[in-house]
Amino acid sequence: MHKIAVLPGDGIGPEVVAEGLKVLNVLSENYSVKFDFQEFDINSERYLSTGKLVTDDDIGQLRKFDSIFLGAIGDDRVKPGVLEKGILLALRFSFDQYINHRPAPLWKPFGRLKRDVDFNIDVFRENTEDYYIGAGGRVSNGKGKLDLRVKRQLYDMKVTLDANADAADDFAFEIGMMSRKNIERFADHVIDFSDLIGENYITVVDKANVCSNIYSLWREVWDDKCRRAGKEHGYMYVDAMTMALVKNPDKFRVIAVPNMFGDIITDLLAEVTGGLGLAPGGNINPKGISMFEPVHGSAPKYKGMDRINPVATILAAKMMMDNLGRRDLGEVIFKGVRGAFDKGVYTQDLGGKATTRQMGDAVVAAIRSLK
């Protein structure tokens, strides 16, 4: 029995999560797997009515589960950054989900490239450090002191920034930081995955020619880890990488990237593969609780219209099964999605006419036909 915490979230989140659960339920009907789902109202509505984001009690309750299945977080009524930091980042940091895995296979015939190339890329984004640590602030009139804190399971670090400029201006700071131990365990996971799929080359992305302090440590660890593992690797600057993913995506198989750059290139790659409606993501702690979600937003203007593509959420369920040790059932979900597409069923974003629920039903039917 797999205990799954379900966080439908905001906007179209509940609609796409319903289709993901529909697919997981058909697995339990037809294969040797059982689920215990429990829903949590951790979303913008609760925040707007109570002021609560993610509480200590939420974290305590969620620790009782094997995995978290998330819809989408975001609401136009809330200032940007509040929900993202207070819910999404809070969950990632609380459960030490230091890996973000974004699979990017080409979904024919929906690929966006004019050139017909086949590719299957797995991007691993470091998920709890870099420039997304939430440490920063502002000083006015050129002077000020910021007392910052970065608390993770690996460490609790306090940083003081004392600013004294010769110009009476406002200054804003966003601090980036990486730690050796975190890079090491991240690299270990990427290397283990490359071994799992039989790939001997890892492309490592950064901007070490400009951000030389933070990414020199990144490269130092990667050089050591790959040497010890007998794994080939090479480096690409992120600007060159964005061009290469559009021009020659078939040249890459496993990509490792720091947090901020990973946020950018994975969305670019999602569009290349067929669009955000086909892009799932996993926030991974290999020894703890992981969280799976579609990478698209909450799209509040489409709420209740039954037109959003649920496939990204269904594929997030596929990733969750892989993570729970049932890669065989993950493959069943993948084949179900492919089977629905092959029968000509797809949503408006892909040029089709299927509704959200019809798309989920088509995947369920395709899974049943596999038995």
| pLDDT, tens digit, 9 for 90 and up, residues 1-48 | 999 999 999 999 999 999 999 999 999 998 989 999 999 999 999 999
Kindly indicate the confidence band of residue 208, based on its pLDDT and cuts at 50, 70 and 90: very high
* Separation of CA 254 from chain center: 16
pLDDT in the model for residue 177 = 95
pLDDT in the model for residue 134 = 85
Q: Is 325 exposed, middle or buried (0-12, 13-18, 19+ CB in 10 A)?
A: exposed
Task: Say how far apart CA 209 and CA 327 lie, in whole Å.
Answer: 39
Task: Say how far apart CA 234 and CA 93 lie, in whole Å.
Answer: 29
Domain ranges, ordered by start, for the chain: 1-99+280-371, 112-131+176-273, 134-175
Q: Which two tokens stand for residue 110?
A: 């929906």
pLDDT in the model for residue 33 = 93
pLDDT surpasses 90 at 204: yes
State how far the alpha carbon of 246 is from the alpha carbons of 15, 119, 267, 277, 292, in Å: 32, 12, 12, 19, 26
pLDDT in the model for residue 114 = 76
Q: Which stretches of the chain are assigned E, i.e. beta strand? A: 2-9, 35-39, 67-72, 99-105, 120-126, 136-139, 143-151, 156-164, 171-174, 201-206, 232-237, 254-257, 280-284, 290-294
pLDDT in the model for residue 117 = 86
Task: Provide mean pLDDT across the span 106-116.
Answer: 87
Kindly indicate the confidence band of residue 349, based on its pLDDT and cuts at 50, 70 and 90: very high
Which CATH number describes the domain made up of 1-99+280-371? 3.40.718.10
pLDDT surpasses 90 at 73: yes
Kindly indicate the confidence band of residue 102, based on its pLDDT and cuts at 50, 70 and 90: very high
pLDDT in the model for residue 91 = 95
| pLDDT, tens digit, 9 for 90 and up, residues 166-188 | 999 999 999 999 999 999 999 99
Cβ–Cβ < 8 Å for 107, 88: no
SS3 content of the chain, % helix, strand, coil (to 5): 45, 25, 30
pTM listed for this prediction? 0.94
Kindly indicate the confidence band of residue 371, based on its pLDDT and cuts at 50, 70 and 90: confident
pLDDT in the model for residue 51 = 93
Provide, rounded to the nearest whole percent, the portion of the chain with pLDDT above 90.
92
Task: Provide mean pLDDT across the span 278-286.
Answer: 97
Cβ–Cβ < 8 Å for 190, 205: no
| pLDDT, tens digit, 9 for 90 and up, residues 211-254 | 999 999 999 999 999 999 999 999 999 999 999 999 999 999 99
pLDDT in the model for residue 286 = 96
CATH 3.40.50 matches 112-131+176-273: yes
| pLDDT, tens digit, 9 for 90 and up, residues 141-168 | 989 999 999 999 899 999 999 999 999 9
**What does pLDDT average to over the chain?**
95
pLDDT surpasses 80 at 135: yes
Task: Provide mean pLDDT across the span 310-329.
Answer: 97
